Structure 1
Amino acid sequence: MTTRPSIQYSCYFTRSRTGEQFVPEHAIGYIVAGAFEVNDGVVSKVFNKGELYFCRRNQLAKYTKYPEEGGEFRSVSIFFEQEMLREFSIGFGHKSNKVIETPAFQQLPSSSVLAHYMESLRSYEDVFKNKGTNELLAVKQKEALLLLLQIQPALKDVLFDFSEPGKIDLEGFMNRNFHFNVDLKRFAYLTGRSLSTFKRDFEKIFHITPSRWLLQRRLQEAHYLLKEKRQTASDIYLDLGFEDLSHFSFAFKKQYGVAPSLV
C-alpha cells in the first residue's frame, strides 16, 4: 500500500469535482491560482487565489476546483498525519488540553508568514518528484506546523487531539450525509462503529442493507430534484454521491421505469 506524500501539488485546466469526499488528516492549503470551493454538507466556502485555509481531520466534504479564466487552477497542500503529530507532540511538548469545536474548513491570514511559506513551496515541486526526498518533505512539513501554531495557537487543541469519533446517532447521521460518496467503512468510522457493528445497527434501524438504502435514498432525492426543482441529471448526480452520469441514469431508470430526462 502506497502512502500519499505529505506535500501535494494540484493543477487543473478545467473545472474538477473529483476526489474522495472524506478528509482523513488535518491539512492546510494555499490557492496559487483559480478558486477552491468546499462544502461540508452544512456550509459552503470559497477560497480564492492567494488565500490560505486549514481543514480538520475526519470531515466529509465535497470539492470543486475552478481554473482562472483562460488559465489553470493550482494549489499546494500539506497533510499532517497522526503519527507525525504524535511524534511532534512528544518532541515539542504540545498537548491538547480540551476538546474544542471548530469549522471543518477555516480561513487563515493570507498575509501571514505561513502563507508566504506555502508560496515558497512552489519552487520545490520538481524536487519532490524525485526519490530520496522524504527527509526534506518531513522538514518542510514540520516547519509548516510550527508556523501554523505560531499564527493560530488555539489549533493546538485540535491538532493534538488524538481521540477517535465516538458512537453517535446513526439514523440522524446517515440522513444528513447520504449524499457523500464515501465507502461504508468511512460511514462506520465516523459513527464510532466497526464495519460489522455499523451494518448490524443499520439494519436494525432501517430494515435494509446500507448499500441498498444509500442507493434508494439518493434516487429518492434525485426524483424530487428533477420533478419539483426542475434540475437536470447532469446538475445533480455528483451532488448525490454518484460517480458518473451513466451509472446514475441506469439506476434511476431501473428504479422509476423512466430516464431522468423524462421525469
Structure 2
Amino acid sequence: MHMENPFRNRGIIYSCYTKISRESENFIPEHIFTYIESGSLQINDGHKVYILKAGDFAFYVKNRLAKFTKQPTEQGGEYKSLSVMMDEQMLLKLKGTFKQQAAPEPESVIHLDANPLYKSYAQSLIAYINTEEQPSERLLDVKVQEIALLLLETKPEFANILFDFSEPGKIDLKDFMLRNFNFNVGLERFAYLTGRSLSTFKRDFEKLFGKSPSKWLQQKRLDEAYRLISRERKKPSDVYIEVGFENLSHFSFAFKKAFGTSPSQLSEAS
C-alpha cells in the first residue's frame, strides 16, 4: 500500500493511493459524503457489496460496519477520493430548520445521482486542498456544513438520516456476531453496535458462547481462514484481511499455533 500526501483536517479527507488498499478499521463513525475522483472503491457491509467508480458520488450511513477496498486505475494509475464527515455537533445546529418523517432503515451506502451541484462542490473543495496555502479550519468547517445543506436541499428525505441521533438499540447478540465476526473492530465497537456497555457485552457474550469475546473471535476467524485456504484455495495474503486480522505476521503465528501448520503450508498442500 502506498499513499501520497493525504489531506486530513476537520473531517475532510482527500487521499491518493498508487497501490490497492484495504482499510484496517471497519467502522463508519459519522455520516460521510464521498466522491471518487479516479480508480474504484469496493464496499462490503456484510450484507451487500457496493462498487463505486470514477465520477461516482455516495453517502455512507454512520454506525455501520464496512470493508473498503481502494483500487487504482490500471497501468500505474491512481486512486483518488474525497470524503467529508458530518459530525453530530454540526448537524445538531442545522436540525431545527428541517422536518423529519418516519422512514425505513437505509442501506449502508447510498448512491447519489450525478448532480452537477455535487460535482461543483467536490471540485471547489479539491481546489482549496491543492493550493499551496492550506485552507483555514474556518473555511473547512463551512464546506462541511455546505455539503450537509446541499444534501438536504437536493434530497429532503435525508433529514431522516442526518438528524437521527439515537444510539443503536439492544439487538440479538448471537446473530450479530455470527454475521460480523470478520470485521476488524474492537470490542467497544461491537458492544456499541449491539446496544450494550462493554461490561454487559462481555457478560452476555460469555453466557451465549461459553468463552470470552477475544478468544471466540480469534478462533472463529482462524476456522474461517482455514476453510477459505483449504477449500476455496484463497491466498493467505488475501485471507487474513478477509477474516478480520490486523496483519499477516500475527495471523500466521496464531494460525500455526492453532492448527500446527502455517497458512502457506496449508495453501501449498491444498
Separation in 2, partners of 1:4, 1:136: 11
Match of 1:225 in 2: 228
Structure 1 segment 233-252 matched on structure 2, within 5 A: 233-252=236-255
Match of 1:46 in 2: 51
The equivalent position to 1:35 in structure 2, one of 18, 29, 40, is 40
Separation in 2, partners of 1:262, 1:11: 35
The equivalent position to 1:114 in structure 2, one of 95, 118, 136, is 118
- Please tell me whether the aligned partners of residues 112 and 151 of structure 1 are also in contact (alpha carbons under 8 angstroms): no
Structure 1 segment 1-150 matched on structure 2, within 5 A: 5-69=10-74, 70-90=76-96, 93-126=97-130, 130=134, 133-150=136-153
Separation in 2, partners of 1:180, 1:105: 17
Give the gaps of 5 or more residues in structure 1. Answer: none
SS state at 2:241 partner? coil
- Please tell me whether the aligned partners of residues 43 and 69 of structure 2 are also in contact (alpha carbons under 8 angstroms): yes
Deviation for aligned residue 1:5: 2.0
- Please tell me whether the aligned partners of residues 128 and 134 of structure 2 are also in contact (alpha carbons under 8 angstroms): no
- Which stretches of structure 1, 4 residues or more, deviate above 6 A after TM superposition? none
Deviation for aligned residue 1:68: 1.4
Q: 1:217 to 1:193 in 2, by over 3 A?
A: same
Separation in 1, partners of 2:129, 2:179: 39
Q: Compare 213-222 and 138-147 and name the one that shifted more.
A: 138-147
Give the gaps of 5 or more residues in structure 2. Answer: 1-7
Separation in 1, partners of 2:24, 2:226: 25
SS state at 1:203 partner? helix
Q: 1:52 to 1:168 in 2, by over 3 A?
A: same
Q: 1:230 to 1:134 in 2, by over 3 A?
A: same
Separation in 2, partners of 1:231, 1:205: 31
Amino acid in the other structure paired with 2:91 = L
Deviation for aligned residue 1:130: 3.8
Q: 1:110 to 1:19 in 2, by over 3 A?
A: farther
- Please tell me whether the aligned partners of residues 95 and 160 of structure 1 are also in contact (alpha carbons under 8 angstroms): no
Deviation for aligned residue 1:88: 1.3
Deviation for aligned residue 1:98: 2.1
Amino acid in the other structure paired with 2:15 = S
Deviation for aligned residue 1:22: 0.2
Q: 1:127 to 1:98 in 2, by over 3 A?
A: farther
Identity %: 48
Amino acid in the other structure paired with 2:211 = I
Separation in 2, partners of 1:217, 1:226: 14
- Please tell me whether the aligned partners of residues 31 and 47 of structure 1 are also in contact (alpha carbons under 8 angstroms): yes
Deviation for aligned residue 1:95: 4.3
The equivalent position to 1:188 in structure 2, one of 173, 186, 191, is 191
Count matched residues.
Answer: 258
Separation in 2, partners of 1:231, 1:10: 29
Deviation for aligned residue 1:100: 2.6
- Please tell me whether the aligned partners of residues 100 and 157 of structure 2 are also in contact (alpha carbons under 8 angstroms): no
Deviation for aligned residue 1:128: 9.7
SS state at 2:142 partner? helix
The RMSD of aligned alpha carbons is 1.7
The equivalent position to 2:203 in structure 1, one of 185, 200, 215, is 200
Separation in 2, partners of 1:191, 1:254: 31
TM-score by length of 1: 0.93
